[in-house]
Each structure stands twice: as structure tokens, then as C-alpha cells.
Chains A and B, each alone.
Chain A
């Protein structure tokens, strides 16, 4: 199929967002099995145990994610809700980085950022960006970027009676939302997505003139908010973000906010489309979309593992963890801990709402979670509004899930009308 999408080159999007393609092999993109039975077994064996999650699962490929490979450290993995919860609630012991973060003179990478900071540094930096990402700010994101992106994408396939929602819809929304909020034109958006993990400097070259321009003349976009926001510390001194801090943050936003929201929205759609009675219920009563999305975050978080570095010796659920070791919190397993949820493997949107670790927890809890929820809600609502009779294509392979440390749907072929 050749690309007819006026706002995005869909063939390029397909290549960049192919779960098993070269871009995602490192995080276990080739993995096609169901990890949950193995995680149940591992949790039952011990809530915390020596080893790395994928190796404990018997996966011998050289794959990794946050906190890996770190060959010179001891590794432990946590599989229960209680163990992950205890680690999240004690960031002094379970630190987000083994060494201090230096955004100013250090290298521009995804981890040399907010994600790895601790204590007062994390607090100060996060306070500067948090106001733009609160629940009350969701409307700002929707009106400026999400709404128009969602509808422009549906315009592209509405008349065709069919679509592949994973790439033509889910993948494109988050990239265009974030780059839009940077003030970057659409034709540069894919260049950015493509280079973000391999050549972070290329992103900085694109962002640099925008930051300089917004310092002079603020506009109604995120970079302007970042150049102008101020926060006072305990001593009363005010802080603003430096250029280097804004570059580091922009890099993190793209890395943390585009692949995740894409795959999580695909998982949500697949879960509903594969259960026509659930989809029909949600279509008829849109109040059910929220529990459907929250249940998706529990049932299959796209990133099922994040890591912490031990700043001192600790005991966790009977396992001794020496200072300097790495703890991999398998939040995918914690989210299906039978000690916390009945019938944990069932996707059930009528469960009473309860916090999950789908967006993490503790002080590093996802900054973009309210934006991500807005993207998924606006996106799925628009599909239901504009594509009556939306259903899986009966003549195509039904969607399956893949990926190990970044999970998502393989493809979501649908028909409508």
C-alpha cells in the first residue's frame, strides 16, 4: 500500500514502529509468547529473587531495558505487588540511578535526565515541569494538539472502510502530540522520532532554535512554558530551566511519551476489539471507557519492568539486596498479583477501580500519565464516534501481543461501516 496520508509518511511510520523491526529488537521485540504464566510461577517461587527478569523466564537473547545490562553488578527481580510497592515507597534506598545526574555538562542521553535524578534535585526539577502535566492541563493538550491530530488521522482512512489502527492511528498520535507541543512542524516529526534513541544530538539541533526563539517571544506551547517557568526552593531562591535542562527534558519526553502511549493505546483497542461485548458496552456508555483504559494499564502495561539501584543494603520480602546491586521491578507481574486482584488474568472492566503500577509509582511516577490518558480517551472516543460498526477485520489475522520489555499489539486490522 502506498502512502496517501497527507500529514505523515505512513511507510516510514510503519518501519519505525514495527515491533519486531530493528528499532525495537534490543528491548525484546522478537518475543511472541505470553509472559504472564511464567511471571506467576516466578512470583510463587519467591517474590524477590536473584536474577534478571528475562533470563529468569528462560530468554537467552541479549536484550535489555532500564537497568540493563550493567554486567558488573548483582541483579535481583521483584514479582509481587508488595515488593514493588515497598521499593517504590523508599526512593532513598531504591535509587533511580547509581550515580549523580549532571544534565549541565554531562552527555545528552535519555537517562541523563529527570528519570535518573534523586532527592532534592528530582523534586526541584520535577516541580518545574509538573504544572504543564497535571490533570487540569489535559484540556490544554487536547485542544492544542491531540484533537486535531486524532481527527486528521481518521480523515485519512475514514472513506476506505478499513484501517490498520496500530500504525495508522495509535503510533502517530503520541509523536505528533509531543512534537506539536515543542512547536516542531509535522514534516520534521518523524526525523525526530527516528533519531531520538540513536543520535540525541540531532533532536537538540532541531530544538535549539525553537528554545532560543521562545525565550524571546513566548507562544502557547510547551517549550515556552519550560523557558518561562520558575520555582522557588526551600531557601527562597528561584530557579529556571537552563537550555541544557530543556534539551535533556525534551529528549526524555519523546523517548518516554511516544512509544509507550502508542503501544498502550494499541493494547487497549485490541483488548476491546477482541471482546465485542466490551466494545459494544463502551460504545453505548462512554463512561465505561475510563475503567476500560485503567484495566488495560493493569492487565498489560506496555513497559512491564523498571529498575532501581541499591543505595545501601536492604532486605526485601526476605531477600538480602547488597548496596550497588540492581533491582528489576516486574510491574507487569505485580499488576496481576492474586494477593491484590481476584482472577488477575481476566480483562474485566467492571472491577472496582484500584491503583496499579501501569504508570509506575513513587516520586518517579509517570509525569505524562494525564496526557497519555487524554490521548487514549480522545483517540478511542473519536474512533467510536466516527467509525460506526468498528470491528476486527474478519478476513485478517487477529491481533496478537508481542515484545518483552516493550509490549504491544502486532497489528490491528479493522473494518467499519
Chain B
């Protein structure tokens, strides 16, 4: 998706995150697990937009959301 805007933030709902590691599978340069096996963002520009969409879609508990600054501001 060349030219599509990139998210300005990625929201991880820690209460929802079950530590499945699927986001890391699809976007390994963006996500990692902290020492509670919860997802954290290590580099928001680490992966392609497609990879981020895959991570969000694959998350088994819907814990991830891409945030675009222009939205609702």
C-alpha cells in the first residue's frame, strides 16, 4: 500500500493481551514480549503496513489497534 498513511501509535490493551505471540510472528521488528509475556511496541516503524495489519488481524483477543493522529482529533 504505497502512500497509505502509517499509524502514529499502536495501542496494546494489556488486559486483553494473552501473550500469544502472533503479533511478533507477523511484525517481529515492531512487537516484542515484556517480562509478563505481554506485547509491547519496540519500533513503530519496524515493519511494513501490511505486516502491521496482519498482526492486528491475527491477534486472537483483539488487543491491538493502530492509531492515526488525524483521527478524531
Contact = CB atoms under 8 A, between A and B. Distances in A.
Nearest to B53: A354
Contact of A127 (B18, B32, B58): B18
Interface in B29-73: 32-33, 37, 50-51, 54, 57-58, 60-62
B54 A355 contact: yes
Contact of B60 (A133, A134, A135, A362): A362
Given A352-B50, A363-B61, A135 B21 contact: yes
A134 B26 contact: no
A50 to B, nearest CB: 28
Contact of B21 (A352, A362, A370): A370
B21 A134 contact: yes
A240 to B, nearest CB: 16
A123 B54 CA distance: 23
A131 interface: yes
B9 interface: no
B22 A130 contact: no
Interface string B8-32: 0000000000111110111010001
A127 B37 contact: yes
A127 B51 CA distance: 26
Interface in A335-369: 352-355, 361-365, 369
B26 A355 contact: yes
Contacts of B32: 136
A126 interface: yes
Contacts of A354: 54
A134 B37 contact: yes
Contacts of B24: 134-136
Nearest to A352: B50
Given A126-B18, A353-B26, A362-B60, A134 B54 contact: no
Summarize B's interface: helix, strand, loop or mixed.
Answer: mixed
Contacts of A364: 60
B25 A370 contact: yes
Summarize A's interface: helix, strand, loop or mixed.
Answer: helix
B1 to A, nearest CB: 11
A352 B60 CA distance: 20
Nearest to B50: A352
A405 B51 CA distance: 31
Contacts of B61: 362-363
A71 B40 CA distance: 46
Nearest to A366: B20
A89 B62 CA distance: 8
A149 to B, nearest CB: 23
Given A353-B54, A354-B54, A355-B57, A365 B37 contact: no
Given A89-B62, A352-B50, A362-B60, A130 B20 contact: yes
Interface in A362-403: 362-365, 369-370
Interface of B: 18-22, 24-26, 28, 32-33, 37, 50-51, 54, 57-58, 60-62
